[in-house]
Chain A
Amino acid sequence: MADWKSEVEEVVFPGKICVPYSWTVGSTLSRWYVQLRDDGEIWANRCPSCGTVYVPPKIKCIKCYKDMNDWVKLPGTGTIETFTVVNKERPGLDPKKPPFVYAVIKMDGADTGMVHLIGGVEPEKVKVGMRVAPVLEKERDGHITDIKHFKPIA
């Protein structure tokens, strides 16, 4: 099939699909985002059966398949479990200009990790095991980016 281009004009249609959505955030995550936005606090919820503490909170415990109505306030601090320094630009996707750092942060008082940005430090100085704390935006609109990034602490 490779030779056909020498015989006929090659036609390519550029296209784009733009469809707006309004995603309902639901009772569990709405509560979490309102606490983050209004009080600047990071909360988690705990499985009444196995005690696993999830942050961000979950509707159901993934292991026990139980409702999660037990809420706990976290100190916000945590430890970098893994990270990556993003070097290659991804237009339209990058939350800031590369190089920047994504990490999974094991949150103190919780059993799960949170994926977020690491800031306030040179990317090459970020290490696994580094202790971090959240830096919140002053103007918050109830989204994951109300946390600007996590920064290293002593």
Chain B
Amino acid sequence: MERVAVIGVGQTKYETDKRETFHELVWEVANKALNDAGITVREIDNVVTISSDFWDGRTISTMAVSDTSGGYDKDITTVEGDGTFGVLYGMMRILSGSFGTTMVVAHHKGSESNMAGITNTSFDPLVERKLGLDAITSSALQARRYMTVSGGTEEQFALVSVKNHGNAMRNPFAQLPMDITVEDVMASEMLASPLKKLDCSPVSDGAAAVVLAAERSAKKMTTNKKRVWLNGVGHCTDAYRLGDRDLADTRALKKAAKKAYDMAGVTLDDIDVAEVYDAFSYMEPLWLEGLGFCEDGQGPEQIERGNFTLDSELPVNPSGGRLSANPVQVAGLAGVIECVLQCRGEAGRRQVRGAEVALAHGINGMCGQSHCVWILGK
């Protein structure tokens, strides 16, 4: 199978209450990604946009960014899901043989709408929606279930928030760089027990873009320094209804991770750095179990041992993670971009020394119903 490379990346600073329109954000990052690759829009064969009609308040939201994304006069299509799944579709379009390059671009303006109201509409209107569940309250159910199964504590989850906000202090794109303590997290406003404000990712605005290229095109267009290969990918979906799953069971992620590792031909020891989808503090240890870096139920304890800090064997979320900026759907693409920067050695003050193999992880659906795992490498 032909290989596909990321040859250019671009992202906005993630903030709340950005005053640019989402078209302007897409314009900014598409240009950054093209400049980074050293190519022009004429060399882009097709565009995959990542957006949600509900968040944008506009149906067929891809069409609204067709011009600023570089999609005019080309084929343009959309993924309504996390950015990691957008990269998957972008790669598939290249592997189909129809396209040599794909622009994958995601945008999100959480501050323009209402997080609770929109995430409530992801629930079945025939069953749970009327109860008023949303992202935070359903994740709170998952957090408590995980505590019950693993014996993990709120203080152990708080350490994830401390670590990732601290990492964000080294990332100029992050929204919430913060020097905080476990006590600060524990004392923050209780939203839905056991989740407190600092256990939750913020409402964010921002955009991100990557340019993908088939091996045949990538080697013609770019220098070796810019190319980072998409060596492995896996994805898997669990049951829709919360009650049809055990919320502490990471079976879908385990399957996705195995597929990605097998495709890339790597083992856990080969992975130098990981961007894991920490929309909530408890998710980082839970997903680290699913990815295989911790035994089931051992995630919280390993967090407490400091196993995933910037100076550890496996730094997790050096960017500051979703806890430090969570433009929904853009967020997984930001994780992919962080992995590209790490593999290139361009991650500035948060650079993991000698990083050659990086893992990016994204989720779709409430409480991580669906997972996408990427292995990137030089």
Contact = CB atoms under 8 A, between A and B. Distances in A.
A86 B192 contact: yes
For chain A, the bracket of interface size reads 35 or more
B295 interface: no
Given A82-B148, A88-B191, A113-B242, A103 B141 contact: yes
A154 interface: no
B128 interface: yes
Interface string A83-105: 11111101011110000001111
Interface string B158-196: 000000000000000000000000000000011111110
Nearest to B128: A115
A106 to B, nearest CB: 8
Nearest to A84: B140
B192 A29 contact: no
Contacts of B190: 85, 87-88
A117 to B, nearest CB: 7
Given A82-B247, A87-B191, A112-B244, A102 B141 contact: yes
B26 to A, nearest CB: 13
B193 A95 contact: no
A54 B117 CA distance: 28
B120 A104 contact: no
Contact of B131 (A23, A54, A83, A116): A116
Contact of B142 (A82, A92, A116, A143): A82
A113 B239 CA distance: 12
Contacts of B243: 55, 104-105, 112-115
B141 A82 contact: yes
A147 to B, nearest CB: 10
Contacts of B128: 115, 144
Contact of B19 (A5, A25, A87, A114): A5
B126 A23 contact: yes
Nearest to A81: B145
Nearest to B240: A62
B349 interface: no
Contacts of A4: 19
Given A115-B128, A144-B130, A145-B131, A87 B148 contact: no
Interface string B16-56: 00011000100010000000000000000000000000000
Contact of B127 (A62, A90, A103, A144): A144
A15 interface: yes
B306 interface: no
Interface residues of B, number: 39
Given A1-B20, A88-B192, A145-B130, A83 B141 contact: yes
A83 to B, nearest CB: 6
Given A62-B239, A88-B191, A90-B116, A102 B131 contact: yes
A17 interface: yes
B242 A25 contact: no
Interface string A4-37: 1100001000010100010101100100000000
Nearest to B149: A82
Contacts of B353: none
B141 A115 contact: yes
B132 A90 contact: yes
Nearest to B148: A128
Contact of A10 (B19, B131, B144, B241): B19
Given A84-B144, A88-B189, A93-B120, A23 B125 contact: yes
Contact of B117 (A10, A92, A105, A114): A92
B144 A128 contact: yes
Nearest to B139: A84
A95 B130 CA distance: 8
A80 B128 CA distance: 17
A41 B355 CA distance: 59
A26 B141 CA distance: 28
A95 B131 contact: yes
12 contacts: A1-B28, A15-B57, A82-B145, A82-B247, A87-B191, A93-B116, A95-B132, A102-B133, A104-B243, A114-B243, A115-B131, A116-B131
Given A58-B244, A84-B194, 20 more contacts: A1-B24, A62-B244, A81-B145, A82-B144, A82-B148, A84-B143, A84-B144, A84-B193, A88-B192, A90-B116, A93-B116, A93-B120, A93-B132, A95-B132, A102-B131, A105-B243, A112-B244, A115-B243, A144-B128, A144-B130
Shortest Cβ-Cβ A-B pairs, 4 listed: A113-B243, A84-B140, A82-B145, A88-B191
